[in-house]
Amino acid sequence: MSSDGKKPSLLWAFLTFAVPVAIILYGTVVVGVRPPVLPLLVAVAVAGIMALKIGYKWEELQEGMLAAVGRIQIAVAILMLVGMIIASWMASGTIPAIIYWGLKLIAPEHFLVSTFVLCCVASLATGTSFGTMGTIGVALLGVGGAMGFNPAWTVGAIVSGAYFGDKMSPVSDSTNITATVCEVPLFTHIASMLWTTVPAAIISIAGYAILGSMHTGDLVSVGNINTILTSLEATYSLSPIAFLPPILMVVLAYKRMPVLPVMVICIVSALAIALYDGASISVLAKQLTTGYKAATPSQELNALLSRGGLMSVMVTILLLTSGMAFGGILEKARVLEVLLDAMLRGANSALSLVGATLGAAYIILLGTGSQILAVVVPGRAFGQNYKDAKIAPQVLSRTCEDAGTLGCPLVPWSVHAFYILGILGVGAVDYVPFAFFNVTIPFISLVLAATGFGIMKTDGTSVRSLKSSADSESA
């Protein structure tokens, strides 16, 4: 007999959610298990035992885990291709060329602001945070390392810029999915998001300017930069043709070509350049598998450039699988459903609805690590509540992205955080304090809901204007 209808009590749902999450946090933050595969597996086991107590059978929980793992097939494919892109772009001289010109053209005090802006532009054009971080992000991480920047600072700026476009680009999957789920025209949805995006971007630029001013370029850093520039000139051709793969990526992504074929084309174009420069097929095949190994006169540069390959992402794939299995149990046991139902009770004002939407998205992120679920589930579940409160659906769609899209890299065991760890080598615990764009937007969203700014009614009027009128009449 199926136990699909069983629902846990609110207390047991909370415990089934909170205890495994606490185990993950303890293992990751306190004990420092890196990569946190073991804490995740323990959390899966504990969540499974607690779900069995509700009355579910193991076969049902296993079905939920397999269904959840199945949802990351595209993410795993993208991750594998990004591993090969990094190796092929190293072999073709693409990433070395970006590092070279980055060191030549970007002043250290402006590096973090430039990193944020460049990633904003790249992600806005391509609509992909993964692609932005796995290509230009890797190159900028190398530039920051040569300048002596803390990698956590650099990755924070890369993440902030990459998710700017993931949220705002009309060619982004998450942007289109959110608009569709919430039944909002695409550009109405994007225009609504400007209310939170513009202030967060300004705050981010100011924050990175302050961090950049705190970085002092000592003589050692200057010497490292000069050595790296000389080594790059001696080892790579640095010709304009090296920029063909990223140009292809931007153009093809902007034309809405599917992401997987775009990545394959970027790999093939980079391999063609490497073959033209004299690389052998056997060497390139090994590099695509085990990663590129730099052999320049500079040991610092070799450490920066030796990366990529299929094998470099295997641990990340294991983390993704474990995290999704944990989320699959919480979904199958209806733990998340019970928690979301509790959050919706009594939510009828703009502030309570926005707060509940943000909270629901973060609960789903903490429970499943899935960006799409954190956007889709609140978008579907809260639609009628916004209509009943006469709040325009673009406020719901905006709020779903403010938390669901931007919050995913902030959760240490999410799909996106594991991707960032695997590609850029910095964990969420380290880069989150410096991902200013992602961190500040939910607070801006709450401030807008509390003040009425940017909160539209279903009839097209502003909640703020209604408040102003009421205040004038009472005076």
Q: How many CA atoms lie within 13 A of 404 on its CB side?
A: 27
- On whether the CB atoms of residues 415 and 75 are closer than 8 A, the answer is yes
Give the integer Cα–Cα distance in Å for 214 and 225. Answer: 19
Distance CA 103, CA 24 (A): 39
| Helical ranges in 215-243 per DSSP H | 219-235
Give pTM, 2 decimals. Answer: 0.78
Structure tokens at 188: 């109405």
What type of residue is 68? A
Q: Which residues are 456's β-sheet partners?
A: 462
Give the residue among 403, 311, 407 at the shortest CA–CA distance from 353. 403
Residues 6+ apart with CB under 8 A from 294: 90, 235, 301, 302, 304, 305, 306
Contact 113, 187 (CB under 8 A): no
CA distance 385 to 348: 7
> From CA 116, how far away is CA 438, in angstroms rounded?
12
> What pLDDT was estimated at residue 325?
87
CA 366 to chain centre: 14
Burial of 349 (0-12, 13-18, 19+ CB in 10 A): middle
Distance between CA 3 and CA 15 in Å, rounded? 20
* Of 330, 387, 382, 328, the residue nearest 358 (C-alpha): 382
Query: 411 φ, ψ to 5°?
Result: -90, 115
Give the integer Cα–Cα distance in Å for 59 and 53: 14
Question: Which letter, b or e, does each residue of 221-241 get, where b requires 16 or more Cβ atoms within 10 Å of its Cβ?
Answer: beebbebbbebbeebbbbeeb
Report the pLDDT value the prediction gives residue 463, as an integer from 0 to 100. 67
For the chain, give the longest Cα–Cα distance: 81
Amino acid (one-letter) located at 161: G
- Give me Rg for the CA atoms of the chain: 23
Tokens of 19: 């205890």
Q: Rounded to a whole number, what is the distance in angstroms from the first to the last CA of the chain?
A: 65
d(CA 208, CA 115) in angstroms, rounded, equals 9
Q: What is the pLDDT along the chain (475 residues), one digit of tens a residue?
A: 334 558 899 999 999 988 988 888 888 778 877 777 888 899 899 999 999 998 899 999 999 999 888 877 887 888 788 889 989 999 999 989 888 888 888 888 889 999 999 999 888 877 788 888 988 898 899 888 888 899 999 999 999 999 998 899 887 878 888 888 888 998 899 999 999 999 999 999 999 999 998 876 554 455 677 788 888 888 888 889 999 998 998 888 778 788 789 889 999 999 999 999 899 999 999 999 999 998 888 777 887 788 889 998 888 788 778 878 888 898 899 988 888 888 777 677 888 999 999 998 898 888 777 787 788 878 887 888 898 889 999 999 999 999 999 999 999 888 899 889 888 989 999 999 999 999 999 999 999 999 988 899 887 777 665 454 444 444 4
Grouping H, G, I as helix, E, B as strand and the rest as coil, residue 51 is helix
Separation between Cα atoms, residue 448 and residue 355, nearest integer Å: 11
Tell me the H-state helices in 425-462.
Answer: 428-431, 436-451
Angle, CA 354 vertex, CA 407 and CA 156 arms, to 5°: 20
Buried residues in 108-127 as b, exposed as e (16+ CB within 10 A)? bbebbbbbbbbbbbbbbbbb
What does the DSSP assignment read for 149-174?
--HHHHHHHHHHHHHHHHHH-TT-HH
For residue 217, the model assigns a pLDDT of: 58
Cβ atoms of 374 and 403 within 8 Å: the answer is: yes
